[in-house]
Amino acid sequence: MAYRAWTTVWGWTMSLGLAVSAVAAPAAPETAQVTVHADRPGAVIHREIYGQFAEQLGRGIDEGIWVGEQSPIPNVHGYRKDVLDALKAIHVPVIRWPGGCYADEYHWRDGIGPRGQRPVRPNRSWGGEDRNAFGTHEFMDFAESVGAEAYLAANMGTGSPREMSDWLEYLTGDGPTTLARERRANGRDKPWKVAYLGIGNESWGCGGQMRGAYYADQYRQYATFARPLGKQTLTKVASGANADDYAWTEAVMAGAAAQIDAYGVHYYTIPTGDWKHKGAATGFGEQEWISTLKAALRMDELVTRHSAIMDKYDPAKRIALAVDEWGTWYDTEPGASALYQHNSLRDALVAAITLDIFHAHADRVRMANIAQMVNVLQAMILTDKQRMVLTPTYHVFDLYQVFQGATSLPVDVHAGDYAFGGLRIPGLYATAARGTDGAVHIALTNPNPTRPLRVALALPGLKAKTVSGRLLSAPAIDTINTFDHPNAVKPVSFDGATVGADGSIMVSMPAKAVVVLDVR
């Protein structure tokens, strides 16, 4: 039965109509064992780890999200309709804006009032200009239309506590104050809800080159005045460490833990490990494939070690760890807009593995924001004038929607390694959770580009009756969706899993693939 299912999967691969000669003949499948402890529910996977980040740079917002009401591109009050619909479909829980580095040079008053009269400012961080057409009203209304919480990043680098406090009054005031009246005059009667407020961004770098202890003091001052009006609860997010800068975490926790609600960490996956020559988004070989996946796996160590420092100051885990920038970062192709990059099957696996890591740390990691939502870095969506394409990463966020708000289940994986060119990583990744729909959802990722796997799934605490699934793979490791061929990497239904008489499950897992199973 399993063999029959495997041939079905292979048949699917072949039926994509791509150069069959370019696809290596599959190696014989190995067998891996996975145990999902359905009887040992763990922490809830906060929806917010499926969050997004949209910085005012390149074509991320202008063109990607915002085209204006007069645009020939179909739009709803100036927002691209195709992009809006695609984001609603994956239930984006939270969006971070306006940066990024740009947040520390952004002044909110530039982005309110009649659009034609707003100032044009240089974007010193990423080049180009900001016409400020997409300002506070445009962002807050956009987040509301998507159904997402707003995560604003306040300017600490070139701003002041007063500027931040005025912004909060403008946004949340429900009384007769001058700033609340100004908001109403600008077209928004009801206060908005501001769920998260970042205080500075990368304050160790583009946000002001501060030292940890100094930032902690600055944070305390700003946090004191970060008070929304009315009955809102605001989660204040401290600007956390760059990747493995544990000294920063130590200093900020020692100096300000009591004032912090969430602590941000940023980590980008780059294939070469060299920021000057990061590697290409497409046309790469197996060496860059495995080095990228290995680099993505570092997230586990980073989260573990930052969490351990936080545990010292916050053993009750009141403070959330927010990985509020993560994703792949490749060399930008000549002529492309700032930080624009293609997104291949490799990015889909990076996303799946990273989300698996967040699930495993669900007790502490309670928000994450992939960088970035549209046309920038590891985007969900790419646009070219009228056209839009969903990336392989988007499809992972779609497949993984079932994990939003689900209760994590511990998973043991016994599988051989996948090795290439002197690098070695585990040969299978798995995550599982009981969804809000009652079903057990299991995601499996096989990083080996040529070898399929047979996965024997044991489920103590659950005697499975039915299993169904969806599969994401592609003919080649660097297959991308293009504007002309937007469906080269797209989820298909998966019939490679079967339930045995004892309620266990056998899965025939194709090479270089992500499978998400629904077990009942």
- Contact set with ligand AHR (CB under 6 A): 55, 99-101, 201-202, 325, 371-372, 377
CB of 272 to ligand AHR, least distance (A): 17
CA dihedral over 409, 415, 420, 422, signed as positive or negative: positive
Give burial (CB, 10 Å; 0-12/13-18/19+) of 196. Answer: buried
Question: Which of 201, 481 has the CB closer to ligand AHR?
Answer: 201
What angle is formed at CA 112 by the lines to CA 339 and CA 133, rounded to 5 degrees? Answer: 40
Distance (Å, whole) CA 321 – CA 329: 22
Q: List the catalytic residue out of 48, 138, 169, 325.
A: 325
Distance (Å, whole) CA 393 – CA 74: 24
Distance (Å, whole) CA 66 – CA 64: 6
Residue 346's contacts (CB-CB under 8 Å, 6 or more residues apart) are 284, 288, 289, 292, 293, 328, 477, 478
Beta strands in 200-331 (DSSP E): 235-238, 262-269, 320-328
Question: Which of 169, 325 has the CB closer to ligand AHR?
Answer: 325
**For residue 365, what is the enclosing H or E element?**
strand 365-371
Distance (Å, whole) CA 133 – CA 116: 8
Distance (Å, whole) CA 181 – CA 29: 67
Asked about 129 being catalytic, the answer comes back as no
Question: Which of 306, 451 has the CB closer to ligand AHR?
Answer: 306
Question: Which of 201, 218 has the CB closer to ligand AHR?
Answer: 201
Distance (Å, whole) CA 274 – CA 272: 5
For residue 407, give the amino acid letter. T
Closest CA to 341 of 269, 287, 412, 252: 269
CB of 101 to ligand AHR, least distance (A): 4
CB of 146 to ligand AHR, least distance (A): 19
Question: Which of 54, 148 has the CB closer to ligand AHR?
Answer: 54
Q: List the catalytic residue out of 48, 202, 250, 288.
A: 202
Phi-psi region of 374 (alpha: psi -120 to 50; beta: other; left: phi over 0): beta
Give burial (CB, 10 Å; 0-12/13-18/19+) of 473. Answer: buried
Question: Which of 164, 371 has the CB closer to ligand AHR?
Answer: 371
Question: Which of 100, 447 has the CB closer to ligand AHR?
Answer: 100
CB of 58 to ligand AHR, least distance (A): 10
CB of 51 to ligand AHR, least distance (A): 14
Burial 284-302 (b: 16+ CB within 10 A, else e): beeebbbbbbbbbbebbeb
**Which residues are designated catalytic?**
202, 325
